[in-house]
Structure 1
């Protein structure tokens, strides 16, 4: 998310009215920030609550949820200041400018960072079951796309106890389930896999017994697979699962 105070823009979508708690400016200068909105629950970011706030648009509901599900904007970069482009400056210099310009408030914070001890930081992230870290070269210029100077290191979870019961006819999507007291419980749709893994999967089930409906094809026997994913959500579903291989 890019914060342009007094406007919040998400991929060219003005979402200012959805976050009234962020309207109190931390500085009266003219600037553009790069950062993210976060909702905390149990001292950890909660993606589902964040999405609940994001999809709330009616003013009365926004005001209610502002007190029930408060949002924090965490700034991790500054792109412009008083009309001057800062994107070609080294990251460490932009961080220093960010610290000088932005004074933290209850709902607007500056992302903390450490130098040199990335492995220890990642270990702490894993121990606290957080999502991951981003490693950046401190002399790097600002990039709006993925580059080797900026690496996202995700704390993925892995499971080889997921069963596939069918697939979607249109775009790639495998119906995932787990065994629960002898029954299959649906846990979401796997929409990500390499081309090779997809080909191997479809080849593996080619001789299986199939049953078709309007949007899905179901097959027997079920297929056990290995996946990686971010976490289990509050409904017991997989968040962003990726098919890695067929177990059997």
Structure 2
């Protein structure tokens, strides 16, 4: 079951919903049926996470949740989590945060209301250092999201209390609100192979490369940049064409990688 973005990426208060912290990690299904299997969206990742091999749940249980690497402050470190997923040589320990239960005592419970499934999750999972439960917060979603932003966390998920678990569906019963940051950046080129633009960030008197932009570029925005790319070309490589940094735009983004690359920038508008 996948999430929709809340309208305008804004939190809303509704007595028929609950709100949870959105952990910044990798989605994982923990299946403890005849044998244990750990599934990401596209991979059987059982061998990648030996610390999760003795789940504190009975046979006949399947959980949905997020694997996370926590930093020294208890915040999710997505870059460390992604590095651990990609390389067996990386030793960052992961924690699985369960937010739903799909099978309980061998029975499919996806057709039950979310509130009931939450109760079954509490019954099935005995928390330890590697397995934790994501619990709804008390209070309204708007105040919760404001607190999340103050602490620099990823965002929240707003879920209907009576929602069924809709397999392989991007459902409006679950809506995410992301704590995006905003920045003004320069467009410094484009990819020859992909529909992406190169970005630069003004820092200490020069423009530093900060990666590429793929998301949110509309056909009209792409059309507007075409004559700029043609007129102000400054060089090229095997994969990219570079242009003079004359055009600025506003982007929203998740955060910064330690390498100085902007994570998941989304085009919003040109700055005139």
TM normalised by structure 2 equals 0.82
Counterpart of 2:55 (choices 25, 29, 52) is: 25
Given candidates 221, 224, 228, the residue that maps to 2:248 is: 224
Q: Choose 11-20 or 41-50, whichever is displaced more.
A: 11-20
Shift of 1:200: 4.5
What's the Cα RMSD here? 1.8
Deviates more, 1:138-147 or 1:39-48: 138-147
Counterpart of 1:233 in structure 2 is: 257
- Hey, what does 1:133 align to over in structure 2? 156
Spell out, residue by residue over 1:32-85, the C-alpha distance to the aligned partner (whole angstroms, 9 max, x if none).
11001000002100001101111123xxx36xx1xxx21100100001123311
Query: Aligned pairs, how many?
Result: 239
Out of 220, 223, 232, the residue aligned to residue 209 of structure 1 is: 232
In the TM superposition, what is the alpha-carbon distance from 1:214 to its structure 2 partner?
2.8
Distance 1:178 1:206 in 2: 18
Q: 1:174 to 1:20 in 2, by over 3 A?
A: same
Identify if the C-alpha distance between structure 1 residues 82 and 197 changes in structure 2 by more than 3 Å, giving closer, same or farther.
Answer: farther
**Ranges in structure 2 where 5+ consecutive residues have no aligned partner:** 1-27
Q: Deviations over 1:136-177 (max 9, x none)?
A: 0010111233221110100001112x1111011121111111
Q: 1:7-22 to 2 correspondence within 5 Å? A: 7-22=37-52
* 1:185 positional shift: 0.8
- Which whole-Å CA distance do the structure 2 matches of 1:48 and 1:54 have between them? 10
Q: Which residue of structure 2 lines up, in the alignment, with residue 188 of structure 1? A: 211
Deviation at 1:11, TM superposition (A): 2.0
Given that 1:122 and 1:132 are in contact with CA atoms closer than 8 Å, whether structure 2 keeps it comes out as yes
The reply to whether residue 72 of structure 1 matches residue 95 of structure 2 is yes
